[in-house]
């Protein structure tokens, strides 16, 4: 019996040793795998110089460091703030997309392709589409960055841009083998309430939009062949034109002169600032022509501003004879700021040639340039500097009394800075030599911290080098002064860092020794 017990004890001890060895074996294997994964996550990946053996590393290799840098420089992609309001700011990125900042500077929405009018007295929404999506569907965004109307949801199949304080959308109400049926819905851009609805539409008009007079013209209703043309206004009133006729009739059959709706009174009622200024053009023209200095100038123009001005509408005048002059005038023809060369109220831009325009008054202030200093500030209607010249760029004050200066700063009417995101910095310091991965491995880019970049192309016994400049703004790499080069063209490219390597337009560039 003792011998049997001893034998069983020996078997138990032997079996335990085997299990322990197996466990140790698994532990070593797991340890090796953990070490391998740790090496991968560190970004320490070696690349062979052989063109055919370049391996693409994971973009997530240095993900933690990348995200930390982006958080520290969340404004790095922003090129300029375009519009400033009490509730937030509309900005543009270096890649051409747009976004929305809160009044505290938080990014509420990014990656919008902006369409139509932005926030105004008549609109609390933005229209556009998100380019980050695969379908680029239209949407309407509120001031909190929330999508309130979106193409492809709730049977909405088309959304117009915002214009004249209105949004038009087609909503599918029925679908049969014979086709779809839609309701054309008009929303108020103030509160997204439904203004009117036209039911029973059997097709979508993708070009539908209110014009400057507040009408949608040439809106044809196939079910009614009596009319050649149907139009409606922003309130849903319908007007009809019969075949071979130029006359329009309302729903009661009364002849209607649509031009009468563009009177100054009606335009104020409709809330169309463009129409109001258009209808007062003749009156302002008479006033300016009565002013001899303006009348006798070889080049003369003016613009009218009517946004929260104490004196009401104010005209800014620009004159050019032997030299440039600017002045201001009230609605009664009284000159407020006499002609001067020391204050310029005009700006220029290029559109197939130089175009000169006048800045307008808003909140009793107008953008003004001081030739002697080369800087911009703001003057009142009498030509007194209320915000001294100190900026390189300025914009007109919004109806909320906010203006963008130097692209990335927002000030109020006292000149106080309410937002400053100018210290964006670059997400990554870019320096070193990089080789294009794969079939294009004969291409090189060498970046220097001083903002220069050298492109190198080798092959067939020759080497071509070209020097240009670059700017790195978050996810955008801007190349300039290259001229023609097969390595990388001038312009804006997408940029991403992954460990020691970079991606430009999604293509891998491997860091190499100089």
Question: Is the pLDDT confidence value at 365 over 90?
Answer: yes
The verdict on 224 and 177 lying in the same domain is yes
Of 157, 258, 266, 160, give the one whose Cα is nearest residue 210: 160
Residue 204: which H helix or E strand, with range?
none
The residue segments making up the domain with residue 62 are: 51-68+426-512
- What pLDDT was estimated at residue 267? 38
Q: Write out pLDDT tens, residues 239-275.
A: 877 767 777 777 777 877 655 443 333 333 333 333 3
How many residues are present in the chain?
514
- Which of 219, 243, 270 represents a domain boundary (last residue)? 270
- What pLDDT was estimated at residue 427? 53
Share of the chain above pLDDT 90, in %: 33
The verdict on 63 and 137 lying in the same domain is no
Domain count, the chain: 3
Distance, first Cα to last Cα, the chain:
80
| Mean pLDDT to the nearest integer, 97-114 | 91
- What pLDDT was estimated at residue 374? 94
**CATH code assigned at 60:** 2.40.128.280
Q: Report how far residue 473's alpha carbon sits from residue 78's, in angstroms, rounded to the nearest whole number.
A: 8
| Mean pLDDT to the nearest integer, 198-220 | 79
- What pLDDT was estimated at residue 268? 38
The verdict on 262 and 302 lying in the same domain is no
Phi, psi (5° rounding) for residue 40?
-65, -45
Residue 93: which H helix or E strand, with range?
strand 88-93
Please tell me which of 206-215, 287-296, 328-337 the model is most confident about, judged by mean pLDDT: 328-337
Which residues lie closer than 8 Å to 49 by C-beta, 6 or more apart?
512
User: Is 418 domain-assigned?
Assistant: no
The verdict on 90 and 233 lying in the same domain is yes
For the ranges 87-101, 244-258, 274-288, which has the lowest average pLDDT?
Answer: 274-288
The verdict on 253 and 361 lying in the same domain is no
User: Is 374 domain-assigned?
Assistant: yes
User: Is 331 domain-assigned?
Assistant: yes
Q: Write out pLDDT tens, residues 28-49.
A: 222 333 333 333 333 333 333 3
Please give the full DSSP string across 243-259, using - where no structure is assigned: TT---EE-TTS-EE-GG
Please tell me which of 51-55, 128-132, 137-141 the model is most confident about, judged by mean pLDDT: 137-141
User: Is 185 domain-assigned?
Assistant: yes
Q: Report how far residue 149's alpha carbon sits from residue 172's, in angstroms, rounded to the nearest whole number.
A: 14
The verdict on 147 and 189 lying in the same domain is yes
- What pLDDT was estimated at residue 32? 35
User: Is 199 domain-assigned?
Assistant: yes
The verdict on 245 and 330 lying in the same domain is no
- Which of 323, 354, 383 represents a domain boundary (last residue)? 383
- What pLDDT was estimated at residue 33? 32
- What pLDDT was estimated at residue 428? 57
Tell me if residue 509 falls in helix, strand or coil. Answer: strand
The verdict on 497 and 477 lying in the same domain is yes
By the 8 A CB rule, do 171 and 180 touch?
Answer: no
Q: Return the half-sphere exposure (C-beta side, CA atoms, 13 A cut-off) of residue 129.
A: 13
Q: Distance of CA 287 to CAs 312, 317, 383, Å?
A: 16, 11, 20
Of 472, 419, 496, give the one whose Cα is nearest residue 79: 472
Phi, psi (5° rounding) for residue 194?
-80, 120
The verdict on 203 and 94 lying in the same domain is yes
| Mean pLDDT to the nearest integer, 190-215 | 85
- What pLDDT was estimated at residue 64? 39
Q: Report how far residue 64's alpha carbon sits from residue 66's, in angstroms, rounded to the nearest whole number.
A: 5
The verdict on 56 and 182 lying in the same domain is no
- What pLDDT was estimated at residue 185? 95
Question: Is the pLDDT confidence value at 50 over 60?
Answer: no
Q: Report how far residue 232's alpha carbon sits from residue 465's, in angstroms, rounded to the nearest whole number.
A: 62
Which residues lie closer than 8 Å to 306 by C-beta, 6 or more apart?
273, 276, 277, 312, 313, 314
| Residue, of 439 and 276, whose pLDDT is higher | 439
- Which of 212, 242, 270 represents a domain boundary (last residue)? 270
Please give the full DSSP string across 279-330, using - where no structure is assigned: HTHHHHHHHHHTSHHHHT-SEEEEEEE-BS-TTSSEEEEEEESSSEEEEEEE
User: Is 4 domain-assigned?
Assistant: no
> What is the pTM for the complete model shown?
0.71
User: Is 403 domain-assigned?
Assistant: no
- What pLDDT was estimated at residue 181? 93
What is the average pLDDT value for the chain, to the nearest integer?
77
Q: Write out pLDDT tens, residues 306-352.
A: 889 999 889 999 988 778 899 999 888 889 999 899 999 998 887 77
- Which residues is 177 bridged to in the sheet? none
- What pLDDT was estimated at residue 396? 95
The verdict on 118 and 235 lying in the same domain is yes
Of 426, 431, 428, give the one whose Cα is nearest residue 77: 426
User: Is 13 domain-assigned?
Assistant: no
Q: Write out pLDDT tens, residues 458-509.
A: 766 566 788 888 888 888 888 888 766 667 888 888 888 888 899 999 899 9
* Cβ-count burial 22-43 (b if 16+ within 10 Å, e if not): eeeeeeeeeeeeeeeeeeeeeb
| Mean pLDDT to the nearest integer, 56-66 | 45
The verdict on 247 and 337 lying in the same domain is no
């Amino acid at each position: 019996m003792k011998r049997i017990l001893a034998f069983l004890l020996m078997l138990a001890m032997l079996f335990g040793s085997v299990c322990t060895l197996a466990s140790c074996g698994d532990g070593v294997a797991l340890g090796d795998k953990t070490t391998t994964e740790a090496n991968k996550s560190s970004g320490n990946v070696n690349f062979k110089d052989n063109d055919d053996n370049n391996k693409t590393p994971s973009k997530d290799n240095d993900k933690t460091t990348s995200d930390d840098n982006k958080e520290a420089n969340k404004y790095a992609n922003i090129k300029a703030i375009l519009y400033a309001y009490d509730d937030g700011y509309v900005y543009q990125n270096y890649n051409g997309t747009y976004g929305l900042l809160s009044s505290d500077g938080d990014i509420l929405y990014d990656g919008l392709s902006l369409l139509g009018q932005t926030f105004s007295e008549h609109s609390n929404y933005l229209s556009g589409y998100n380019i980050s999506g695969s379908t680029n569907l239209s949407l309407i965004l509120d001031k909190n960055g929330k999508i309130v109307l979106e193409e492809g949801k709730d049977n909405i199949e088309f959304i117009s841009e915002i214009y004249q304080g209105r949004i038009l959308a087609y909503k599918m109400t029925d679908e049969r083998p014979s086709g779809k049926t839609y309701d054309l819905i008009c929303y108020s851009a103030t509160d997204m309430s439904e203004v009117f609805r036209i039911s029973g539409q059997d097709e979508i008009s993708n070009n539908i939009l209110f014009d400057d007079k507040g009408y949608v013209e040439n809106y044809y209703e196939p079910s009614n062949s009596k009319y050649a043309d149907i139009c409606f206004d922003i309130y849903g009133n319908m007007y009809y034109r019969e075949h071979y006729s130029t006359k329009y009739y309302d729903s009661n059959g009364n002849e209607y002169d649509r031009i009468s709706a563009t009177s100054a009174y009606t335009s104020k009622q409709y809330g169309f600032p463009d129409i109001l200024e258009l209808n007062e053009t003749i009156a302002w023209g008479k006033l300016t022509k009565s002013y001899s200095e303006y009348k006798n100038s070889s080049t003369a123009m003016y613009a009218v501003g009517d946004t929260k001005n104490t004196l009401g509408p104010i005209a800014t005048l620009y004159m050019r004879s032997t030299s440039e002059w600017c002045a201001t005038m009230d609605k009664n023809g009284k000159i407020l700021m006499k002609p001067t060369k020391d204050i310029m109220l005009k700006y220029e831009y290029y559109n197939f040639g130089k175009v000169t325009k006048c800045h307008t008054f808003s909140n009793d202030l107008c953008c003004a340039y001081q030739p002697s200093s080369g800087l911009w500030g703001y003057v009142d209607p009498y030509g007194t500097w209320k915000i001294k010249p100190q900026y390189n760029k300025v914009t007109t004050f919004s109806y909320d009394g906010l203006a963008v200066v130097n692209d990335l700063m927002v000030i109020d009417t006292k000149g106080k800075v309410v937002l400053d995101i100018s210290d964006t910095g670059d997400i990554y310091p870019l320096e070193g030599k990089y080789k294009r991965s794969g079939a294009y491995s004969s291409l090189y880019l060498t970046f220097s911290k001083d903002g220069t970049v050298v492109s190198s192309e080798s092959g067939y016994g020759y080497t071509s080098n070209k020097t240009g400049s670059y700017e790195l703004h978050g996810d955008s790499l801007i190349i300039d002064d290259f001229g023609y080069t097969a390595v990388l063209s001038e312009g804006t490219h997408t940029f991403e860092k992954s460990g020691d390597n970079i991606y430009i337009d999604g293509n891998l560039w491997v860091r190499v020794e100089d």
